[in-house]
Amino acid sequence: MRRLDVRRFEGPNPMFRWYNIIPFWKVARNFLVIWVCRYLPFPSWKSPLYRLTGMKVGRHVSVAILATMDLFFPELITIGDNSVIGYNATILTHEFLANELRTGEVKIGSGVMIGANATILAGTGVGDRAIVGAMALVARDIPDGAFAVGVPARVFRREGRS
């Protein structure tokens, strides 16, 4: 089950008027930092920059080139120590729908590997030492030590089991 906060809106969809919901300068700063980090080749430089947006990033976290963090609510992202976020992975903490905005924390544990092109949706978590396969869509929590693959991601095996 995803943990989401839901805000309903009347009139035009909330994405059409995001600037009334989230301060423009916050989004502009987040966009600039996250855009720079997408192309920056040095993982040790990315973590301090991500922290400027409010993200909680542990020690020795490696975020690959072209990975994208949520622009509107990056402060809802937590990444544990020694985790790897793969090439072109996406971590989202919000969803705009026709008449509502959903937000939710994303908690990625320590020692986690998120594969290339994977997407982590708002309100989900990935447990310590878990592996999320390439191109997986995480729409529910992945437990500690699990190997999850597919769309939506399903646990294929757990630590110590085959």
In this prediction, residue 14 carries a pLDDT of 87
Query: 122 near 108, Cβ under 8 Å?
Result: no
pLDDT band (50, 70, 90) for residue 160: low
Query: 117 near 131, Cβ under 8 Å?
Result: no
Which residue range forms the structural domain that includes residue 22?
5-158
129: left (phi over 0), alpha (psi -120 to 50) or beta: left
Q: Is the pLDDT of residue 12 over 70?
A: yes
**Domain count within the chain:** 1
Q: Report how far residue 98's alpha carbon sits from residue 112's, in angstroms, rounded to the nearest whole number.
A: 34
Q: Render pLDDT for 23-75 as a digit per residue (tens, 0 to 9).
A: 999 999 999 999 999 999 998 999 999 999 999 999 999 999 999 999 999 99
Q: Render pLDDT for 86-122 as a digit per residue (tens, 0 to 9).
A: 999 999 999 999 999 999 999 999 999 999 999 999 9
Q: Render pLDDT for 125-134 as a digit per residue (tens, 0 to 9).
A: 999 999 999 9
Q: Is the pLDDT of residue 161 over 90?
A: no
Q: Are strands 106-108 and 77-79 parallel, antiparallel or unpaired?
A: parallel
Q: What CATH number is associated with residue 72?
A: 2.160.10.10
Q: Report how far residue 161's alpha carbon sits from residue 3's, in angstroms, rounded to the nearest whole number.
A: 28
